[in-house]
Amino acid sequence: MSDRYVDLLHGQKAHALLDDGFFVELWRKLYEQCPHATAFQGPNFVRTWYKTYREQWQPVILLWRHSDEELAGLWMLAYNISAKELSHAGTIQSEYQAWLALPGKDIPFLSAAWEEIKRCFAFAALRFIYLPAASLGGILQAVPSMKNCVAVRKQSRPLLPLTPEGIKESFSKKSNKSRFNRLKKLGSLEFRRITDPAELDRMFSDMIMYYDFRQTSVSHIAPFQADPLKRIFHMNLFAGSPAENYVTAAYLNERLISAFWGAVSGRVVHLGMLVFSPFVAEHSPGKLHIMQLSELLLRDEKTLLDLTPGGCTWKERFADAHDEVAEAVIYSSASVKMRDDVLHEFLHLGKRCASGVGIPVATVKAAVSCLRDFRPARVVQKMKNRHGQSRQLCVYRCNRARAETFQCDGDLNCNSITDLFLFEAVRADEDRDAFLSEALARLEHGQFVYTARANNRLAFCGWMTKTTTAFPAGEVGQSLPLPPGSVALRDFYSHPDLHDAGCFESAIRRMVCEAFASEGVSEAYIFLQPDVLDIRQAIESLGFEHIRTLALKSASE
């Protein structure tokens, strides 16, 4: 085998090879023989990704033949010509990235393959998001042609071993039983694995909506909105092999409340997405889903749920074991690696210094993100709001008798996440990520949002807290007691280009009618800042009674 060269194919030749059934069978055979192979190096995942992202990424295939009937090594990469970027097939959608090789053949294959890559492409570095085993980092460092060009950083990986004893213990806990019982009181509860592409298509829109909503709050990006091909890729991936994609869903009254997407590598399932509805957050639907998923996985003879690395606190709550994976980078030269090492050490020092004075790493990351998005005009406007009229709240009241005179003709949606995503930050003091993050938190705490859209933009929204006995007016440092059976309406927003006094009146009438739909409600209170003149005029024209204005209390009061 030593006298055989590594072949590199890219572009049309690579696409033709990917459609060759004989090659695909050799690929599958090598995949089964390679001890570190994961689903992300399998034919279904890689071929589906190449086809979906064909316009953006050119396939790059490196293969080493043991004979005409056997492959000894295979490395599936992708090249973005415009960005001169080399990546692994799947890019960020491939949780684990690696080559395939027969046992003991890794180093000679990688050495020859790396020389071919450098000869054919211009690029700075090739990154492995995570190697599936930390030991693979040592293999890279031992490759002669990569000498002084490899950086490896180990990471802890949380794992959930699947055992009958562990699952039984989880289901027997009183708190978990209580969560299930509370959910069942709300209606029909069903949990099942999805195996039909048609059913996946029906539930996937809700799954994407919940996923993007939460990811926007956590990482300030909506993955499916940012990548229009992402849904197509997942649907095609599932259709190509439902058995290699473990998808489960929980329904309450036939409406999706939680879902899981995972990749299957033999008897291991890797976490891809875990989503749940914010409207039932108080019942811990994510936790309940993992419990039911674990039971189902064990029944399907799976032994391990890989929660994947990344440092999320919720993963640690489920993990019963850990092992190590590794981040790795192969640089095009030793000088490029040296420059990147200096930057990494600088960032590491900053994190260490922050930790030494009690500043969490997450806070440092948030600060960097804020600096990246710094806008002086927004700072000035926020300072004006903090010390100006926004430090007051006008309080209006409406009783049931008055509300019953309203016509409920407003065209509003209740709790529409789709509408919330249409919010635009058009004023200097507005931030879309902050708006969506706050919206998620409020929905999870049981508040209701009423929205209207126009020209595919969020035109109006207002929040309602039902059956409250106190209003926490944080803007003015006070809490206003309310009579039993009160409903609070607050935080109205209107798009500045879509002002319509008639629309405001109609929307508020509709919200008040919704508020008094419950028999126990006796009064509705509206709280708003005095400088929101258009909505104030709409409220006053409807006959709401202005009962007081709350002002900021000084520290001495």
Q: Average the pLDDT over each of 210-214, 358-362, 470-474 and give the range with the smallest value.
A: 358-362
Mean pLDDT of 198-217: 95
Domain check: are 180 and 248 in the same one?
yes
Mean pLDDT of 517-528: 88
Name the token pair of 156.
Answer: 């802890």
List, for residues 145-160, the tens digit of each pLDDT value: 998 999 999 999 999 9
Residues 238 and 112 in one domain: no
Question: What per-residue confidence (pLDDT) applies to 285?
Answer: 96
pLDDT mean over 297-318: 93
Q: State the pLDDT at residue 371.
A: 40
Mean pLDDT of the 55-82 span: 94
Q: Of residues 66 and 461, which shows the higher confidence score?
A: 461
Give the closest residue to 396 by CA, choosing from 517, 542, 263. Answer: 542
Question: Are 124 and 197 contained in the same domain?
Answer: no
**Predicted local confidence at residue 386, as pLDDT:** 42
3-state class of 287 per DSSP? helix
In a domain, 204, yes or no: yes
Both 105 and 84 in one domain: the answer is: yes
Alpha-carbon span 203 to 342, nearest angstrom: 47
Helices (H), 186-228: 197-219, 223-226
- Give residue for tokens 């260490």: 352
Pairwise pLDDT comparison (23 vs 409), residue with the higher score: 23
* Residue 60, pLDDT score: 98
* Length of the chain measured in residues: 557
242: domain CATH number is: 3.40.630.30
Does 237 map to a domain?
A: yes
Flag whether 320 is in a domain.
Answer: no
Structural domain ending residue among the three candidates 372, 397, 428: 372
User: Per the domain annotation, does 321 fall within a domain?
Assistant: no
Q: What is the band of 466 on the pLDDT scale with cuts at 50, 70, 90?
A: confident
Does residue 289 share a domain with residue 175? yes
pLDDT tens digit string along 5-15? 899 999 999 99
Write down the pLDDT at residue 388.
41
pLDDT at 258: 98
| Helix ranges, 256-333 (H) | 285-299, 313-318
Structure tokens at 403: 């509300």
- Both 253 and 134 in a single domain? no
Residue 196 has pLDDT above 80, yes or no: yes
CA distance 63 to 191: 43
Helix (H, G, I), strand (E, B) or coil at 112: helix
Q: Which residues span the domain enclosing 541?
A: 384-551
Reply yes or no on whether the pLDDT at 127 is more than 70.
Answer: yes
Do the strands 448-454 and 413-414 form a parallel or antiparallel pair, or are they unpaired?
antiparallel
pLDDT of the residue at 410: 67
Residue 389 lies in a domain: yes
Q: Check whether residue 13 and residue 125 sit in a common domain.
A: yes
Which run of H or E residues covers position 445? none
What are the C-alpha distances in Å from 176 to residues 305, 321, 352? 20, 21, 38
Tell me, yes or no, whether 420 and 340 share the same domain: no
CA distances from 267 to 162, 246, 261, 294, 323 (A): 10, 12, 16, 13, 17
Q: Is residue 521 part of a domain?
A: yes
Same domain membership, residue 24 and residue 153: yes
Percent of the chain's residues with pLDDT above 90: 64
Answer yes or no: is pLDDT of 486 > 70.
yes
Same domain, 248 and 351: no
Instruction: Please indicate, yes or no, if residue 311 is contained in any of the structural domains.
Output: no
The per-residue pLDDT for range 309-356, each reduced to its tens digit, is: 987 889 999 999 999 999 999 998 877 777 676 666 655 555 556 555
Token representation of residue 356: 């030494």
Residue 155 has what pLDDT? 95
Q: How many domains in the chain?
A: 4
Question: 299 or 469, which is more confident?
Answer: 299
Task: Give the percent of the chain with pLDDT over 70.
Answer: 87
Is residue 90 one of the residues assigned to a domain? yes
Average pLDDT over residues 386-394: 60
Residues 87 and 184 grouped into a single domain: no
Do 479 and 500 sit in the same domain of this protein?
yes
Per-residue pLDDT at 378: 44
Residue that is last in its domain, among 112, 133, 158: 158
CA distance 250 to 264: 20
pLDDT for residue 194: 97
Residue 450 to residue 411: CA distance in whole angstroms:
10
